[in-house]
């Protein structure tokens, strides 16, 4: 872990239990790698919940001096989890139900105001209702945290055409038994050999 990432994780707390420090470290390290390579494009996060990872993404963009040149977009319904599809069925994931993990856009914005960091561009919508016009023309880094098959499929369809060479996509819950739909959606676009796993995250280098 670089000293920058280590300092951020030491200084600031996680504000929810939906992600752990090991996962945040990987997300920030991969984002830092993309920036160091000079990969062009903006940053997108699909599924931001209350803003734990969003805050850390903004902080590292600020520290690295990238916030002025790279736009950060977040996408969420702010209505909690959608309904499951047949692709999501798992006896270990029965606790994940429609409407769970709902927070308001106002709550999300409050966390940024409290932390005194700039709020990203917020797109309040179900992923299935978004179009290509809602995402940046060039994307360097995408973090997809949609939990279920259709959410990951829809976000992959939106970001993949605009991902730049040298960019990275990270999919949360890719290797999580309780949420099998995430990996099933990814494999419709990427052979499993293209995906590296770490702490349940699926990491795709482009």
Query: Average pLDDT in the 60-65 region?
Result: 96
Q: Rounded to whole angstroms, what are the CA distances from 84 to 72, 77, 99, 120, 157? A: 28, 15, 11, 28, 19
- Could you tell me what percent of the chain has a pLDDT over 90? 84
Residues in contact with 165: Cβ distance below 8 Å, sequence separation at least 6, in sequence order? 39, 206
Euclidean distance between CA atoms 105 and 107, whole angstroms: 5
pLDDT at 95: 67
pLDDT at 75: 98
**DSSP track, 15-39:** SSSSS-HHHHHHHHHHHHHHHHHT-
Global pTM value = 0.94
Domain that holds residue 131: 3-205
pLDDT of 74-89, one tens digit each? 999 999 877 888 888 8
Q: Is the pLDDT of residue 1 over 60?
A: no
Number of domains in the chain: 1
Euclidean distance between CA atoms 151 and 112, whole angstroms: 25
Mean pLDDT, rounded, of the chain = 94
pLDDT at 26: 97
pLDDT of 143-184, one tens digit each? 999 999 999 999 999 999 999 999 999 999 999 998 999 999
Query: Average pLDDT in the 183-196 region?
Result: 97
Q: For position 134, which CATH number holds?
A: 3.40.50.150
Query: Average pLDDT in the 117-121 region?
Result: 97
């Amino acid at each position: 872990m670089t000293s920058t990432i280590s300092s951020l994780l030491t200084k600031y707390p996680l504000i929810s239990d939906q992600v752990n420090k090991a996962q945040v470290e990987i997300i920030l390290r991969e984002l830092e790698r993309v920036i160091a390579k000079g990969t062009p494009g903006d940053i997108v996060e699909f599924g931001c919940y209350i803003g734990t990872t969003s805050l850390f993404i903004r902080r590292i963009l600020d520290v690295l001096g990238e916030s002025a040149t790279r736009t950060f977009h977040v996408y969420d319904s702010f209505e909690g989890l959608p309904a499951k599809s047949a692709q999501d069925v798992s006896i270990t994931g029965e606790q994940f139900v429609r409407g769970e993990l709902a927070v308001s856009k106002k709550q999300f914005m409050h966390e940024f105001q409290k932390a005194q960091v700039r709020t990203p561009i917020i797109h309040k919508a179900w992923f299935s209702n978004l179009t290509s016009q809602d995402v940046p023309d060039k994307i360097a880094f995408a973090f997809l945290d949609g939990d279920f098959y259709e959410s990951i499929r829809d976000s992959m369809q939106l970001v993949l055409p605009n991902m730049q060479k040298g960019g990275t996509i990270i999919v949360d819950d890719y290797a999580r038994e309780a949420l099998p739909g995430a990996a099933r959606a990814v494999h419709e676009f990427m052979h499993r050999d293209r995906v590296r796993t770490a702490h349940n995250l699926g990491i795709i280098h482009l």
